[in-house]
Amino acid sequence: MAEEQRKPKKRMTATKAAASIGPMVKEFITGTNRARAEGKRKLAYTFIVCHHEEILRAMDVLPVWTENFAGICGVKRAAERFLQKAESLGFSRSLCTYALCGLGFDQWREELGEMPPDAPWGGQARPDFMISSGQILCDPRTKWYQAAQQFMPDVPIYNIDLPHPLFDPKKDHREVWGYYHKYIVDQLRGLVSFVEEQTGKKMDYDRLRELVALSDRTWNLVHETYELRQAVPCPMGTGDAMNTMVPLCFMMATQEAYDFYVNLKQELEEKIARGEGEVEDEKYRLLWGGGLPAWYALNDFNYLNSKGASFPAETTYRMVVPIYEMDIPETDDPIEHIAWKWLGYWTHWYDKARNRPGSEPDVERLIEYIENYKIDGVVMHLAFSCRTWHVGLIWQLHQLAKIYRPIPVLMLGGNGKGDKVQRELPSLILESDIIDITSYSEMDTRNKIDAFIETLESVRQTKAA
């Protein structure tokens, strides 16, 4: 691989808030290492999108987000040696590369008894315990820590199972979600007992209630802030959102996260008032329709920006609706509330999908963003190693094209006159991986982007009023 490809190029951000994320992430990674050295707080390996951070923070447990550390290795183009390490241990390269990177790193750290040389940002701290999570498609979330236990046999694991009712066009999910709720509440209460045992402390439920309320406020604020991106021109794109996801994925239930979005909201409002867009001359508004990004190639967003393309919305890393708009039962019990929030999040588009023949919740989400954000085209990234978020993306595009044709264009009819017909949105599928840079070619990716831009332009030219 050319040396050029190894060197990360700094991505230009459109907002000051996004530019401030690097030091923030660095601080929470070095913070976990400091805490490890001080030995006062317990550290837990865990996963994002599990709605359990309030429980951990209420008990003063410091989460070590293993997906985040692998992502950082990706951004810094430093994952390869950890992936190779994992492969040399017999793990297949086609497994989730976050997991491989983490396992390679852990084995190396345990073997040396210290951080591997040149570990990004001081490396990933050794945990006191690990909280895995059974989620519908992601097997690494259960198996990753079991595998890591080979190198850390003294570190216990607790698994929380977080199911949600699957979509059935003929059934109302509310008929069964009470059972799911009961099960999830049991799982979360089990987590509380486990953490109590590990920390030797009792859960302070008043504190938990406060943190859950803080999380809810942040959740609503993120939604309101991101909705500002509906403005034309769009003040902040997906490239920046891949930074501003940090507080919402890794720092929920902290005042710092809330304050971050207060500042971001203000910054976006100011940009909108000045008519300032993510790109100077906004020509195309694109939806990041899914897939985790290629973390080492975030610069591709800048490349798209340079062609006049802005990304007002993405389906990755965002809320669905504010809590106050969520159709979930009210409760004073913070654990029960967390469980309802979980169910509300996953079932949010079910009603809409039931009302449109041939639709599915994920397709409804695309349609909602396309309409609300005035989208001209959809970009997706198929990261080969993460099945969880990537299985079904192409199918979603197919369904979308079948049931939703939002662009009126003029076509030459049989009579030689221009006929107005509705056509589907153009789409671009990028293929590589979240952190395995060997799956990526900048030249090919940019060639595809160029062709996509030409397609968008040609649609623009045939667009009928």
Partner 1 sequence: MPEYFAGIDIGSTMTKAVILSDRIIAFVIGPTGPEQRRLADKVMEELLDKADLPLKALTYIISTGYGRINVPFADKQVTEISCHAKGVVFLFPGARTIIDIGGQDSKGITIDATGRTTNFIMNDKCAAGSGRFVEVIADSLGIDLDRVGDISIQSNSPAQISNICTIWAQQEVAARLAEGTPVPDLLAGVHRSLADRVVRMVKRLKILPDVIFTGGGAKNKGLVQALEEYLDAKILVPPEPLITGALGAALLGKEIFHRAVSKNQLLETKPRRLETIQIL
For ligand SF4, the binding residues (CB under 6 A) are 67, 96, 98-99, 138, 140-141, 386-389, 434
Positions of E strands within 309-441: 309-314, 377-383, 407-412, 418-423, 427-432
Shortest gap between Cβ of 187 and partner 1 (angstroms)? Answer: 38
Q: What is the dihedral of CA 168, 174, 179, 184, to 10 degrees?
A: 90
The 3-state secondary structure of 356-378 reads CCCCCHHHHHHHHHHHHCCCCEE
Identity of the residue, 43 or 428, whose beta carbon is nearer to partner 1 in the bound complex:
428
Shortest gap between Cβ of 385 and partner 1 (angstroms)? Answer: 14
The secondary structure of the chain in percent helix, strand, coil, rounded to multiples of 5, reads 55, 10, 35
Q: Which does 455 bind (CB under 5 to 8 A by kind): ligand SF4, partner 1, none?
A: partner 1
459 binds partner 1 (CB under 8 A): yes
206 binds partner 1 (CB under 8 A): no
Contact 30, 125 (CB under 8 A): no
Q: How many Å separate Cα 153 from the centre of its chain? A: 30
Identity of the residue, 5 or 30, whose beta carbon is nearer to partner 1 in the bound complex:
5
Please name every residue paired with 431 in a beta bridge, in sequence order, or none if there are none.
382
Shortest gap between Cβ of 76 and partner 1 (angstroms)? Answer: 24
Identity of the residue, 277 or 377, whose beta carbon is nearer to partner 1 in the bound complex:
377
Q: Which does 67 bind (CB under 5 to 8 A by kind): partner 1, ligand SF4, none?
A: ligand SF4
312 by DSSP, 3-state: which?
strand
Residues 6+ apart with CB under 8 A from 244: 15, 17, 18, 21, 236, 260, 264
176 binds partner 1 (CB under 8 A): no
Integer angstrom CA distances of residue 244 from 49, 147, 370: 15, 31, 21
H or E segment at 161? strand 157-161
458 binds partner 1 (CB under 8 A): yes
Identity of the residue, 211 or 430, whose beta carbon is nearer to partner 1 in the bound complex:
430
Shortest gap between Cβ of 188 and ligand SF4 (angstroms)? Answer: 20
Q: Which does 96 bind (CB under 5 to 8 A by kind): partner 1, ligand SF4, none?
A: ligand SF4
Nearest residue to 46 (alpha-carbon basis) of 28, 69, 74, 78:
69
Cα separation, 78 vs 68, in Å, equals 13
Shortest gap between Cβ of 100 and partner 1 (angstroms)? Answer: 19
Identity of the residue, 66 or 427, whose beta carbon is nearer to ligand SF4 in the bound complex:
66
Identity of the residue, 316 or 441, whose beta carbon is nearer to partner 1 in the bound complex:
441
Nearest residue to 159 (alpha-carbon basis) of 128, 191, 127, 186:
191
In the list 100, 409, 434, 435, the residue contacting partner 1 (rule: CB under 8 A) is 409
The CB density around residue 133, as the number of other CB atoms within 10 Å, is 22
Helix 299-306 to helix 442-462 angle (10° resolution) is: 30
Footprint of partner 1 on 417-456 (CB under 8 A): 423-424, 426-427, 429, 431, 439, 441, 443-444, 447-448, 450-452, 454-455
Q: Which does 405 bind (CB under 5 to 8 A by kind): partner 1, ligand SF4, none?
A: none
Spell out, one character per residue from 364 to 403, where the chain touches partner 1: x when CB under 8 A holds, - when not.
------------------------------x--xx--x--
Q: How many Å separate Cα 418 from the centre of its chain? A: 43
Q: Which does 81 bind (CB under 5 to 8 A by kind): partner 1, ligand SF4, none?
A: none
Q: Which residues bind partner 1 (CB under 8 A)?
A: 394, 397-398, 401, 409-412, 423-424, 426-427, 429, 431, 439, 441, 443-444, 447-448, 450-452, 454-455, 458-459, 461-462
